[in-house]
Copies of this chain bind each other. A is one copy, B any other.
Amino acid sequence: MTLQEILESVKSGSVSVEEAERILKKESYEEMGYAKLDTSRKARTGFAEVIYCSNKADEHLLNIFERLYREDGEVFGTRASQHQYELVKEKFPEVEYDPISRILKVEKKDKKRIGKIAVCSAGTADIPVAEEAAQTAEYFGTNVERIYDVGVSGMHRLFSRLETIQSANCVIAVAGMEGALASVMGGLVSRPVIAVPTSVGYGASMHGLSALLTMINSCANGIAVVNIDNGYGAGYLATQINRLAAGTDEKGN
């Protein structure tokens, strides 16, 4: 309903003043005291709310998990610990946990996936972040091609997989240390490249800041950068782009 429609309905009496007030005040969330669950998010953005599990108190995690499950029949949590997996499993025995990506989820069966993105990692140590990106995109309905350990110190490995990479709607380049993979990728593909710096490295890598700066200063075009280790954000953005490319609406339909 547009604003005009709501007002017309008020005028005609088909919507009460109170109801219109509630709609216009946008009280479309569930108050939990310590949290306000954004239950209108899926309608608004095409992505259901997910749980950032890190440091959540046990009780809060369980409550939020339950409410989101009730709402959607599936739940997606990131940065979960082994302890949180066991906690949730007691109540939701069907919950799955991947210790590499630290993703904790209950997922509906037989969800359809569309399009294709490529997730590339520079080294094996970058795989946890790459997997967070890949599994996020898959959860939101995107086909994912994984191409790992293709860092620039041995570029023949990257070139051998180039055709696969070039055929994706969007490429996620995950790299720590000096993060040069993103620039190299940007020069080789014609689709958007989402660069994810990781905290892999030591010394002057400054926990990923060096890789972030490399990627932000890239001399190649068609590259944009997300936060250090933010695999989730990259998978989310890649899904948005893939949906546009696949001709579905932005909510994936």
- The residue in chain B whose Cβ has the minimal distance to the Cβ of A218 is B178
Q: How far is the CA of A167 from the CA of B217 in the complex (A)?
A: 30
Contact of A35 among B3, B21, B149 (CB under 8 A): B149
Cβ of A24 and Cβ of B26 under 8 Å apart?
no
A183 within 8 A of B: yes
- Determine the residue in chain B with the shortest Cβ distance to A136: B221
Interface string of A100-120 (1 = CB under 8 A from B): 000000000000000000000
Q: A68 at the A/B interface (Cβ < 8 Å)?
A: no
Q: Are A218 and B177 in contact (CB under 8 A)?
A: yes
User: Given A35-B148, A203-B199, A212-B216, do A194 and B224 touch, yes or no (CB 8 Å)?
Assistant: yes
Count this chain's copies in the assembly: 8
In-complex Cβ contact of A180 among B45, B125, B178 (8 A): B178
Give the residues in chain B near A21, CB-CB below 8 Å.
Answer: 3-4, 7
Q: In the complex the two chains form, is A216's CB within 8 Å of B227's CB? A: yes
The answer to whether A217 and B4 touch across the interface, beta carbons within 8 angstroms, is no
- A11 interface residue (CB < 8 Å to B): yes
Q: Which residue of B lies closest to A60 (CB)?
A: B124
Say yes or no: A7 contacts B4, CB within 8 Å.
no
Q: State whether the Cβ of A46 lies closer than 8 Å to any Cβ in chain B.
A: yes
CB distance from A170 to the nearest CB of B (A): 8
Choice from B55, B155, B207 contacting A187 with Cβ under 8 Å: B155
Structural contact, B224 and A237, CB atoms closer than 8 A: yes
A244 on interface, CB distance cutoff 8 Å? yes
In the complex, A4 Cα to B22 Cα: how many Å?
10
Residue in contact with A210 in the complex, picked from B11, B17, B56, B213, CB distance below 8 Å: B213
Contact check, A221 vs B236: say whether CB atoms are below 8 A apart: yes
| Residues in A52-110 with C-beta less than 8 Å from chain B | 54-56, 60
Interchain CB contact (< 8 A) of A178 among B47, B207, B214? B214
**CB contact list, A167-214 vs B, under 8 A:** 169, 177-180, 183-184, 186-192, 194, 197, 199, 201-214
Which chain B positions have C-beta within 8 A of A47?
190, 221
Q: How far is the CB of A194 from chain B (nearest CB, A)?
A: 6
- Counting CB contacts under 8 A, is A144 at the interface? no
A sample of 5 more A-B contacts (CB under 8 A), given A7-B21, A56-B124, is A36-B148, A38-B157, A192-B240, A210-B210, A223-B237
Can you list 10 A-B contacts (CB < 8 A)?
A47-B190, A55-B125, A180-B180, A190-B251, A191-B250, A204-B212, A204-B217, A206-B209, A211-B217, A223-B226
